[in-house]
């Protein structure tokens, strides 16, 4: 069991996502920075879909009530285990009674904590990913404890990993969306030759960008969208759907982020700059 002493700003359990229910209006959910979550599970030799903690902006204080192994990654935060500094992408043995404390956010936006065998919260529609409309809670602040499998005897094959961090990257690779060919030459130039800044309006559902391009007068039927779909509003605003984004939309779907681009964007804060590159 894991005792939540302090929950942080917004800390949730996320796995690879919830698939097969988009026709019912249920988003995929899952870790926003799937690149980092995958690396952490690899170090612990977990199954790829093992659930991790996603820690947004400020982190929790956690007390371990059983022995296990952990790995941290993602956004850089000052983190201590029993008041000793903890490195990213390094396997740590923790013992019953140990306390992990998150401090100041230094770089990035979302940190991740993986545990041996993954966090074993309830499965809902085949996933442990928190999504408020269908899971019991949307944040661990309301959960007194998180059960997980007590680790078996474990000798990690790799105890530390050097990772090409996404935190310093700003170029987002994109594919053409279904309505890409409706863009004008001027709109294409504005999209691919300008920088954009992340607006204050950003969360697990969608990221908005502060700068607008030339708007559109297109009308279209509501159509399917995916995590990473970039929509263009009539006013010229770009809206990028994220892991908890709606499953359909009525704006032109002009571009689609790659998986790596989604992980890069998930680590951006308001005011951070990005550029698009057609893949």
pLDDT tens readout for residues 37-71:
999 999 999 999 999 999 999 999 999 988 899 99
pLDDT at 149: 58
Is the separation of the CB atoms in 59 and 96 below 8 Å? Answer: no
Is the separation of the CB atoms in 257 and 230 below 8 Å? Answer: yes
Determine, yes or no, domain membership for 105: yes
Residues 191 and 80 in one domain: no
Residues 230 and 121 in one domain: no
Mean pLDDT of 107-123: 92
Contacts of 35 (CB under 8 A, 6+ apart): 166, 259, 260, 263
Residues 103 and 183 in one domain: no
Final residue in a domain of this structure, among 142, 158, 185: 142
pLDDT at 163: 85
Determine, yes or no, domain membership for 152: no
Mean pLDDT of the chain: 92
Residues 186 and 103 in one domain: no
Query: H helices of the chain, where?
Result: 34-43, 185-193, 259-266
Determine, yes or no, domain membership for 147: no
- The number of distinct structural domains making up the chain is 2
| Start-to-end CA span in the chain (Å) | 44
pLDDT at 3: 85
pLDDT at 151: 59
Residues 10 and 82 in one domain: yes
pLDDT at 143 over 70: no
Residues 89 and 215 in one domain: no
Mean pLDDT of 127-152: 69
Is the separation of the CB atoms in 266 and 110 below 8 Å? Answer: yes
CATH of the domain at 177: 2.40.100.10
Of 138, 97, 129, nearest to 19 by C-alpha is: 129
Determine, yes or no, domain membership for 148: no
pLDDT at 138: 55
CATH of the domain at 63: 2.60.120
Residues 200 and 267 in one domain: yes
Host domain of residue 54: 2-142
Quick one: pLDDT band at residue 139, thresholds 50, 70, 90? low
Whole-number Å distance between alpha carbons of 28 and 125: 11
Residues 196 and 113 in one domain: no
Is the separation of the CB atoms in 6 and 140 below 8 Å? Answer: no
pTM of the full predicted structure?
0.94
Structure tokens at 43: 């170090």
pLDDT at 150: 63
């Amino acid at each position: 069991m894991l005792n939540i002493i302090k929950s942080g700003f917004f800390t949730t359990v996320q796995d690879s996502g919830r698939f097969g229910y988009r026709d019912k209006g249920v988003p995929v959910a899952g870790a926003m920075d799937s690149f980092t979550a995958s690396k952490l599970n690899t170090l612990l030799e977990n199954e790829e879909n093992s659930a991790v903690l996603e820690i947004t902006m400020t982190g929790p204080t956690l007390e371990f009530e059983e022995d296990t192994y952990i790995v941290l990654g993602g956004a850089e935060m000052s983190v201590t285990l029993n008041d000793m500094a903890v490195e990213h992408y390094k396997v740590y043995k923790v013992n019953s009674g140990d306390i992990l404390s998150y401090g100041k956010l230094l770089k990035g936006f979302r940190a991740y904590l993986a545990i041996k065998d993954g966090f074993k919260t309830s499965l809902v529609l085949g996933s442990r990913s928190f999504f408020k409309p269908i899971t019991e809670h949307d944040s661990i602040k309301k959960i007194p404890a998180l059960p997980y499998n007590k680790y078996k005897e474990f000798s990690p094959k790799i105890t530390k990993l050097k990772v090409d961090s996404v935190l310093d990257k700003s170029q987002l690779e994109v594919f053409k969306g279904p309505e890409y060919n409706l863009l004008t030459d001027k709109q294409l130039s504005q999209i691919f030759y300008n920088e954009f800044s992340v607006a204050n309006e950003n969360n697990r559902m969608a990221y908005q960008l502060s700068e607008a391009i030339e708007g559109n007068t297109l009308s279209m039927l509501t159509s399917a969208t995916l995590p990473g779909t970039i929509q263009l509003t009539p006013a010229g605003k770009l809206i990028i759907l994220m892991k908890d984004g709606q499953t359909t939309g009525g704006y032109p779907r002009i571009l689609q982020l790659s998986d790596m681009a989604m992980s890069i964007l998930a680590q951006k804060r308001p005011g951070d700059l990005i550029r698009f590159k057609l893949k």
